[in-house]
Amino acid sequence: MSARRAPQQHIKIAEHLRGRILSGEIPTGSLLPSEAELCEEFSTSRGPVRQALASLRTEGFISSGRGRRSVVLEHAKTETFETFTSNHDWIESNGWHAGSKTLWMARCPAPAHVAEMLAIEEEDPVVFLHRVRYADGCPIAVERSYFSLPVGKHVLYMDPDEGSLHAKLRDVGIGLDHGRREMYGSVAGDEDADLLEIETGAPTMTSRISLSDHNGTPIEYTETVQLFEGLTISYNYIAGTPSPLHISMRNSDRFAK
């Protein structure tokens, strides 16, 4: 567990510019302020400004510039760190009312695959949270979350069906810093089909997400089974910059190596 940490300057700059772009204040096709202008606006050096611009380029908001002022690009809406880590925030960001129903919450021994993801020993205690997530009252996903005990002991005292659980964890000083998500096609088993109100064997999307704190310590591992119908994935990509997306068939028995 780690104390909350104020966002670094380059993060604040990127958030400010991202907000101006998304609001239309800086419209598609227009020039972004120059580095010198941004340094003056935010009373900072070129380092944080360049880091902020690099983040916006990676996200597909602005062109590479290459010695010139960057241009605001047409782009698909991208995830924030909050919508990446929290299904509640993701549902709300799409304009739906987020709801939740907890099926089970308890301290239990860690299964082998969970222990591996949380970097603990098999059978070490974790806190397990099993929920159905709703969008405007319709079931959209089934979550099975496991928290390391130092974090889970806080979860046990929270109402997981009221607001964002991750926001509540931030309020008690538990900050998330980075995560990894893997998504693959799957089919609904009997239990998940019943909870999602679909037929057994219907296509679903399964995601596995692991989250760590500022020290790199794993604190949460979540498996989510989501409705497949209508699921749309869009992303922005700029030549010369790395993409966070990797597409493979690693979870397919047909193409397994």
Cα 154 to the center of its chain, rounded Å: 21
Entry pTM: 0.73
**Which tokens sit at 138?**
């319709």
Cα gap 49→91, rounded to integer Å: 31
**Which CATH fold would you assign to the domain 81-227?**
Chorismate lyase (3.40.1410)
pLDDT in tens, 104-151: 999 999 999 999 999 999 999 999 999 999 999 999 999 999 999 999
Yes or no: domain 9-58 corresponds to CATH 1.20.1050.10: no
User: What is the H or E stretch that residue 230 is in?
Assistant: none
Whether residue 30 is predicted with pLDDT greater than 60 in this model: the reply is yes
- What are the strands of the beta sheet with 203-212, ordered from one edge? 98-109, 125-135, 138-148, 218-227, 203-212, 178-187
pLDDT in tens, 88-108: 988 998 889 999 999 999 999
Cα 216 to the center of its chain, rounded Å: 16
Domain ranges of the chain: 9-58, 81-227
CA atoms within 13 A on the CB side of 249: 6
Please report the pLDDT score of residue 3 as a whole number. Answer: 43
DSSP state of 210: E
CB 149 within 8 A of CB 218: no
Cα gap 115→221, rounded to integer Å: 9
Whether residue 244 is predicted with pLDDT greater than 60 in this model: the reply is yes
Nearest-10 crossing angle of helices 46-58, 35-42: 120
Q: Say what the alpha-carbon torsion angle 163, 167, 171, 177 is, to the nearest 10 degrees.
A: 170
Whether residue 79 is predicted with pLDDT greater than 60 in this model: the reply is yes
pLDDT in tens, 2-12: 444 445 888 88
Nearest-10 crossing angle of helices 9-23, 46-58: 50
Please list, in sequence order, all residues whose beta carbon lies within 8 angstroms of the beta carbon of residue 22, skipping any fewer than 6 positions away.
Answer: 77
Q: Which of 4, 19, 23, 166 is nearest to 81 (CA)?
A: 166
Q: How many residues does the chain have?
A: 257
Give the residue carrying structure tokens 């990797």: 246
